[in-house]
Structure 1
Amino acid sequence: MATEDTSTSNVVEFDALIIGGGVSGVSAAYHLQKTCPSLKFCILEARKNMGGTWDLFDYPGLRSDSDMYTFGFSFRPWASQTQSVIGTKQTILDYLHTVVKEFDLQKHVQFQCQVLNADWDSQEGNWTLTTSQKQNHDDSTTTVIYRARYLFSCTGYYNYEEGYTPEFPNRDAFPGPIIHPQHWPKDLDYKDKNIVVIGSGATAVTLIPSLTEGPHAASHVTMLQRSPTFMASRPSHMTILSRSILYWFGQDATRWFYILFGMFFYNICQSFPRALSEFLIDGVEHQIGSDKFKEDDWTPRYKPWDQRLCACPDGDFFKTIKSGKASVVTDHIVEFTEKGVRTEKNDVLPADIIITATGLKIHFFGGMNITLDQKPLDMPSRFIYKGFMMNGVPNFFVAGGYTNASWTLKIDLTMQAASDLINIMETKSYRYCQPELPKPGNEMEAVPSIDLTSGYIQRSKHLIPSQSTFYPWRLYQNYLYDKYSLQFQSLEDDTLKFSK
């Protein structure tokens, strides 16, 4: 067990601190280094490696659910010899490590450094971070204090320690492994086993084809869902059109093709939800065959893009269902038994292994305690400004991506804007800046900042900062609008308060 040495506390000074070494942290570091080269900064990463989510998750078949031309950074285009557009875990990690090496960012990283508290001191105009840092020579930890004027939170939005698992009645009666994909055992033997996967989201759709292929394939996999999810097949490699664009016009044009196509499809779904619902459901029936299609199993209760659309590269999930290697059951769980999972309408679904692909736990800012002059920050009462700051929180930049497109698209824009704002402050000798709400009498309506009906979002609405109904407090989920407002409009607007 690790022991903590609190006898001495080291104090380390930087100009800026970036919490998190995943996709968002790498983007923040690149833009800060490019825009403000004279500033001294450090990336504080709680894990042993860079990569964030992609270093943490390790379940079979793990891949991106966005095309890599938009998931890759604008400053380092995705390039693949195989012309793949869906990235696997390893190709994404290789890409991130290449970016880190190419821009010499590794020298700025402090690994195994968990941020516990972050406090803004108005008198000093600094953030003070209390961290628990592992030593290189053993498992002991020591408390290290970091100070900086600027703070980037690039921690993602969910709990890295555990995923969300509901309370299942009689759970202890099941003698076999019960596994959440967030912590996949490396030595799990599922060859010739019956597996029940609880859940129908992106994780389940990714897992099931992988569990049924290869020399270690399961005997049969049952996807047990409470309600269906919208799914769609998409090519895992470039189409003739996208290959032609790449050949004739290059990487930037290819990236714009995928950006605009994604925006087009999203807006079609929003404008014509009934027609698109029928289109997606008919597509499933076409893929799996009418003999295996049951309307109740494939007709969601929500409109397309009220939750993220599950992408099935080359229709792999549908092919697995069609082959009979996997099946779908729509039902409610009564209890676990010695033989598997008892449901309301289907008696016992036999299982040797149960996988709970039941979602994530929201955990903003890596679970650190944030205070302003030692007073706790009430997160739900705050409003998100332009997608990267919060009202009344000085020199604090938040990394948040799109819900309807690649995470990285928004991250690139907001981290560049944050770095540009810091450059303005440095040039004009401002000590801090913070967004301020409209004056009394112009109160804003508070609405959830993440507009999805997904269970993991709905369970955590009370923990999430709000947005409002008008700019700059509105998150429009629109890349073109954000690109214009963040890159071509002045960052020195009437909402930001600057102080020397």
Structure 2
Amino acid sequence: MTEHVDVLIVGAGLSGVGAACRLQERLPGKTYAVLEARDTIGGTWDLFRYPGIRSDSDMFTLGYPFRPWKDPKAIADGPSILSYIRSTAASHGIVDRIRFGHRVVRASWSSSSALWTVSTEHGATFTCRFLYLCSGYYSYESGHVVDFPGRAEFAGEIVHPQHWPAALDYTDKRVVVIGSGATAVTLVPALASTAAHVTMLQRSPSYIVARPGRDALADRLRALLPEKLAHRVVRGKNVVMGTLFFQLMRRLPKRASLALRKRVAAQLPASIPVDPHFVPSYDPWDQRLCLVPDADLFRALRSGKADIVTDGISRFTSSGVLLKSGHSLEADIIVTATGLRLVAFGGIALTVDGRAIEPGDQRAYKGMMFGGVPNLAWCVGYTNNSWTLRADLTSQYVCRLLAYLDRRGFAFCMPDAESASTAGRPRPIVDLASGYIKRAAPGLPKQGEKRPWMMRQNYLLDFADMRLGRVDDGVLRFGRAEDRATAAR
């Protein structure tokens, strides 16, 4: 039996729950369902369970603007974020709309009916007027796995953070964490609390920024102002400050690089020099900055329970890792924090009137829709700021778009594909130089060099465009159900 709804949301993580809340808030008359491949709510924050997992954005911006973050910690741990998502879903009545265990494998648009037909792995079928993909852009099946030479020889345990064993005991063990990104800098201090020793082994360093885990201004404002007003003020302050620092770093990369290195140097023990361990070969924000709340990584390094090695890996041995320099690292456990595996549209096979939609060939309109693909939006967040800032803007724009279709009597809309060809050379939609992003770039949608085909990393400009700009902007094309010729074009 086929179930029909007005809007079908794919994914019940941070984005999907937020999208459902916005939809029933702005368009209460719409029917909708949320399809979730797994058996629980939470997405990323339920999947990743490695020690110390936390946000790398403040919760006043990573949280929902319509539900104030109440925890004292502005940089929150994973379980607290998961509880926040689930309680939001429960308090807004979202849970009953979620179909668990429904992994979407295909979605086909028919212009004759102006509907999407969506099929799940276990044979369930749904039709919907609008399809909203909120499953992010990385694979839940596995992270990026590097086949290091000698891997099978290692006598200890090898773990990827994306699938952390619940029973793994690292107490009094020697642990080597391979990686230099956000996951690695999170794991090292968390493991060092009980492990005998932890070494962060990196091929090349990342920029690392320490900041307080609590927001002092937020604490003061929450004591003086009503909860919602305090949340709004702090959120606005963090948006402006984050945008300002990003713009300054991109415009003055040499000064920014020097300032970041000086801040790190002030917190390192004498035994660990800044160069080469904290001198990246790229400019700030060519890759995402790693956030260290309350300087916990540097405290672990100063304690002697952790250290850092910058070197290449020659091979794994039975007792650890042989480095290209000839030195060896002894280990009982090796953690391969080697990155994510990115995938567009949750791996769903999309077709429009029988024509296959290849993600890598698409240009993203406002970072969310695609030329010639009707009634579909893809929710992705910022790379230089909180994910939710952009995800929530996208959800609100989808609501505006649906309301516009209803007012004007249209059945569908889609960006004009020919307009995308005039937007300049294609660039990766995730415009960072990280290795896992470069590997996936050919299979991900692209952005252009001009609006509205450019995905700007600027919340303030996007707010003005997506909340206040015209829906009928000359690039979107609209049609009625009977207008099959327009739909086919």
Counterpart residue number, 1:326: 306
CA–CA separation in structure 2 for the residues paired with 1:24 and 1:439: 28
Cα distance change, pair 439–470 in 1 and its aligned pair in 2 (3 A): closer
Give 4+ residue runs of structure 1 displaced > 4 Å after superposition: 438-441
Query: Deviations 1:102-160 (Å, cap 9, x if unpaired)?
Result: 2111111100111011111111111111112xxxxxxxxx4111111100000111110
8 Å CA contact retained: 1:225, 1:329: yes
Q: Which residue, out of 149, 159, 162, partners 2:139?
A: 159
Structure 1 position 264, deviation (Å):
1.4
1:237 and 2:226 correspond:
no
1:222 partner amino acid: T
Instruction: Give the percent of matched residue pairs that are identical in Structure 1 and Structure 2.
Output: 41
* Map 1:24-173 → 2, pairs under 5 A: 24-80=15-71, 83-132=72-121, 142-173=122-153
Mapped partners of 2:295, 2:155: distance in 1: 34
In structure 1, the residue corresponding to 2:442 is in which secondary structure?
helix
1:3 is matched with which residue? none
Q: Deviation string for 1:203-244 (max 9, x for gaps)?
A: 01001111111xxx11111111000000011100122x4434
AA aligned to 1:396 is L
Matched position secondary structure for 2:41 = coil
The answer to whether the 8 A contact 1:292-1:322 is kept is no
Matches of residues 32-431 of structure 1 in structure 2 within 5 Å? 32-80=23-71, 83-132=72-121, 142-213=122-193, 217-239=194-216, 241-246=217-222, 247-248=224-225, 250-431=230-411
Alpha-carbon separation, structure 1, partners of 2:197 and 2:25? 52
d(CA) in 2 for partners of 1:186 and 1:360? Answer: 20
Query: Alpha-carbon deviations, 1:4-36, whole Å to 9, x = none?
Result: xxxxxx311111100000111012111111222
Q: Secondary structure, in 3 states, of the residue corresponding to 1:156?
A: coil
1:317 offset after TM fit, Å?
0.3
Question: Shift in Å at residue 66 of structure 1?
Answer: 0.3
| SS of equivalent residue, structure 2 residue 394 | helix
Corresponding position: 1:449 with 2:429? yes
Q: Distance in 2 between matches of 1:391 and 1:415?
A: 19
1:270 and 1:398 mapped to 2: Cα distance? 27
1:298: how far off? 1.0
Indicate conservation of the 8 Å contact 2:9/2:35, yes or no: yes
SS at match of 1:143: coil
Structure 1 position 441, deviation (Å): 8.3
Match of 1:136?
A: none
Name structure 1 gaps, 5 residues minimum: 1-9, 133-141
Cα deviation, 1:67-118, whole Å, max 9, x if unaligned, reads 00000111112122xx210111111111111211221111111001110111
Which residue identity is paired with 1:365?
Answer: F
In structure 2, distance between residues paired with 1:323 and 1:442: 56
2:485 corresponds to: none
Residue 73 of structure 1 aligns to a residue whose secondary structure is: coil
Name the SS for the 1:460 alignment partner. helix
1:430 and 1:35 map into 2 onto residues whose CA distance is: 19
Q: Which amino acid is the alignment partner of residue 90 of structure 1?
A: P
Structure 2, unaligned runs of 5 or more:
481-489
User: What is the distance in 2 between the residues matched to 1:439 and 1:256?
Assistant: 34
Residues 242 and 257 in structure 1, CA contact (< 8 A), matched pair in contact too: no
Query: TM-score, normalised on structure 2?
Result: 0.95
Q: Verify the 8 A CA contact 2:10 2:35 in the aligned structure 1.
A: yes
Cα RMSD, aligned residues only: 1.4
TM-score (norm 1): 0.93
Equivalent residues, number: 476
- Classify 1:121/1:427 alpha carbon distance in 2 versus 1 (closer, same or farther; 3 Å): same
Deviations 1:169-223, CA, capped at 9 Å, x for gaps: 111110111100000000001111111110010001001111111xxx1111111
Give the residue type in structure 2 aligned to 1:227. Answer: S
Task: Provide the rounded CA distance (Å) in 1 between the counterparts of 2:290 and 2:49.
Answer: 19
Measured in 2, the distance between the counterparts of 1:309 and 1:482 equals 22
Give the match's secondary structure for 2:398: helix
Task: Look up the SS of the partner of 1:287 in the other structure.
Answer: coil
Compute the displacement of 1:443 (Å).
5.9
Deviations 1:413-458 (A, max 9, x none): 1110011101111222211000013469846321111110011110
Whether the aligned pair in 2 keeps the contact of 1:14 and 1:40 (CA below 8 Å) is: yes
SS at the partner of 1:250? Answer: helix
CA distance in structure 2 between the partners assigned to 1:440 and 1:38 by the alignment:
34
Maintained 8 Å contact 2:343/2:444: no
After superposition, what is the alpha-carbon deviation per residue over 1:356-411, rounded to whole angstroms, capped at 9, x for unaligned? 00000001211111111222112222111112211111000110100000000001
Structure 2 Cα separation of the partners of residues 383 and 60 of structure 1: 38
Moved more, 291-300 or 163-172: 291-300
Output the CA distance in 2 between the equivalents of 1:397 and 1:256: 26
SS in structure 2 opposite 1:284? helix
* In structure 1, C-alpha distance between the alignment counterparts of 2:302 and 2:471, rounded to whole Å: 53
Kindly indicate whether the alpha-carbon contact (under 8 Å) linking 1:158 and 1:360 is maintained by their aligned counterparts in 2.
yes
Q: Which moved more, 1:331-340 or 1:283-292?
A: 283-292
